[in-house]
Amino acid sequence: MSKIVVISGASAGVGRATAHEFARKGARIAILARDPESLAATRVELEQLGAAAVLDIPTDVADADAVEYAADRVERELGPIDIWVNVAMVTIYAPVHRISPAEFKRSTEVTYLGTVYGTMAALARMRPRNRGHIVQVGSALAYRAIPLQAAYCGAKFAIRGFTDSLRCELIHDKSRVRLTMVQLPAVNTPQFDWAMNKMPKKVEPVPPIYQPEVVARAIYYAAHHKRREIFVGWPAVKAIWANKFIPGLLDRYAAKKAWRGEETDVAAEEDRPNNLFHPVPSKARTRGRFDSEAQDFSKAIWLDLHRTQVLAGVALLTALSLTFSRQRKVDRND
């Protein structure tokens, strides 16, 4: 029987690409996001891609009751939830002193508490059945913060702490509910066109940039394997490991390079709609405006997802090399 999957933030970007990936495998999918129009468009795409069933539920994940209602509806109309993927996020591009308390609160409620509420709703149904898989979509910024995105970085750090704490509890209870966190690099999504931006220039991801489909494949893999964490792309791996050893140096590097690297040379549009408090339906799509720069493939993630086969191949080659070497010595001695 096809899996029953819930994906938050599914109307655009990584969430929409992830829904596409599950649809291609014939899953029954519930998609959550705030805007009914964008959800409806996504539902049509999923049906065309082969999803066994699609349920679109307009949901603000910052509302715990709304998330609980969505989970109840999924179980009533589709059946027991097998996989829950928390993707929904909003961010603000601005130095901390230019962010209002209300803006900071809203970003935290959507990005962090939205993940907490989604996880709690999933757990309430998975724990009694002693099965299920929850995937948290994180970021390299959950380990290595950068300027101009304090609200987002803080939320991703919090998600990592929350997830690690919960994982310990599940291990203690010998639960078969699984948790995996997928840490993202820079991704070509619409967020750079609809996120709240208080900078004088348009914003962009810090290269190298990956297409959302690269991330979607990693999330799909995470939902079907027992992996604690998956890092998507070498940039995420390098940032995370470098921060373990030279955090102070990275602070200074980010102060000089990341600040400038997040801005383009194009002036920001005045009064541009942003999605912090309300959705922007016209910009809800899978990819952003960086197609010409974004990579469709990541060697690092391919190696990570196929590491068993890679290690087996390396072991085989090593064994063959040693055998060949020993045979040559025998031949020389003869």
Q: Where are the beta strands (DSSP E) in 87-188?
A: 92-93, 133-137, 178-183, 186-187
In the set 93, 112, 117, 152, the catalytic residue is 152
Query: What sign for the dihedral angle of Cα 273, 277, 282, 284?
Result: positive
Q: How far apart are CA 184 and CA 139, in angstroms?
A: 4
Beta carbons of 197 and 274 less than 8 angstroms apart: yes
Amino acid at 4: I
How far apart, in whole angstroms, are the C-alpha atoms of residue 156 and residue 148?
14
What is the DSSP secondary-structure string of 225-284? S--SEEE-SHHHHHHHHHHHH-HHHHHHHIIIIIHHHTEEEEEPPTT---SSSS--GGG-
CA 54 to chain centre: 21
For Cα atoms 15, 20, 22, give the angle at the middle one, nearest 5 degrees.
Answer: 95
Pairing verdict, β 201-203 and 92-93: unpaired
153/243 Cα distance (integer angstroms)? 14
Q: Reply yes or no on whether 152 is catalytic.
A: yes
Which element (helix H / strand E) includes 210? Answer: strand 209-210
Instruction: Output Rg (C-alpha) for the chain, integer angstroms.
Output: 22
How many whole angstroms separate alpha carbon 48 and alpha carbon 62? 30
For residues 39 and 58, the answer to whether their CB atoms sit within 8 Å is yes
Strand partners, 5: 29, 83
Beta carbons of 83 and 45 less than 8 angstroms apart = no
Which amino acids are annotated catalytic?
A: 152
